[in-house]
Amino acid sequence: MGKVQPYGRRRLRVIWREFLRENWQVIGIVAAGFVGLAAATSWFSARVLPGGSGYWIGFTHASLAAVFIGLIGLLFLVVDGSAIHQLRGAWGEDNTRDVLGTARRKRLIWGSVDAIDLVLGDIDHVVVTRNAGVVVIDSKWRSDGSGRDARQMAAAGPRAKRRTEGVIGSILTRERGGHRATTRAVDVTPLIVVWGRAQRAISADARVDDVEVVRGRDLLDWLKRAQGEHVERDAAAELIGALETCRATAGK
């Protein structure tokens, strides 16, 4: 199965397509202006630098293309206020996913399933650990270094836990209706992982409303220290497989 993109990145693609559809005329005019500028630059370079114009023309065209792409991207972020929010969310989820990949290679966890879409919301990461049950992670990216919205961020923890418990409960119900059920109920621990400047305002072992809030750079250490319910290999493999199936069939 291919890599599943974070919800924020998938939502960003939808917003981007809507932006292009609604502003194609303006983008076309800007593009025509850049093409005209590139043509004028080429003509001028050929006249002034006939012997060495090839390199200069290539450099100029590449620079104009980069400026054009950057300008359209900046216009997109300015026009749609939700775009930067979705982009930051995708950054946070990508960073957490990278750490979880390292944790798996270091044998700290059995594995994780990312970006599970549900009717009532989404789950960023469900992590099946070796010695701490299931950890459900909600990734956040915050540019505000004051940490003023720590309580708001922590509120996502219980919601993610309820969603994960509901998904696992549904999986167990289906399995127990069949011929075997090696997966049993496991403890689910909510965890908020914060990336960006807001990490500066979060202390080690921070807890808000009984939900742990961890700096992104400390996530790997947190997984090393986490202790709780031991999860057997077979149960972990079955649970991860069922979660991946749930993700693949969600919304179908």
Q: What was the pLDDT predicted at 147?
A: 60
Quote the pLDDT of residue 110. 96
Find, among 213, 218, 215, the residue nearest to 197 by Cα. Answer: 215
How would you write the pLDDT of the chain (252 residues) with one tens digit per residue? Answer: 446 666 677 777 888 888 888 888 888 998 998 889 888 888 777 777 665 566 777 888 888 888 888 888 888 777 776 777 778 888 889 999 999 999 999 999 999 999 888 877 788 999 999 999 999 999 998 877 656 667 778 888 888 888 888 888 877 666 555 444 444 567 899 999 999 888 887 877 777 778 889 999 999 999 999 988 899 999 899 999 989 888 888 655
Q: How far apart are CA 240 and CA 217, in angstroms?
A: 25
Q: What pLDDT does residue 109 have?
A: 95
The answer to whether residues 3 and 25 touch, using CB atoms and an 8 Å cutoff, is: no
pLDDT in tens, 150-203: 777 888 888 888 888 888 887 766 655 544 444 456 789 999 999 988 888 787
> DSSP string covering the chain, please?
-PPPPPHHHHHHHHHHHHHHHHSHHHHHHHHHHHHHHHHHHHHHHHHH-TTTHHHHHHHHHHHHHHHHHHHHHHHHHHH-HHHHHHHHHHHHHHHHHHHHHHHHHTTSEEEEEEEEEETTEEEEEEEEESSS-EEEEEEEE---TT-TTHHHHHTHHHHHHHHHHHHHHHHHHHHHTTT--------EEEEEEEESGGGGGPPTTEEETTEEEEEGGGHHHHHHH--S----HHHHHHHHHHHHHHHHHTT-
pLDDT score, position 182: 45
Per-residue pLDDT, 181: 45
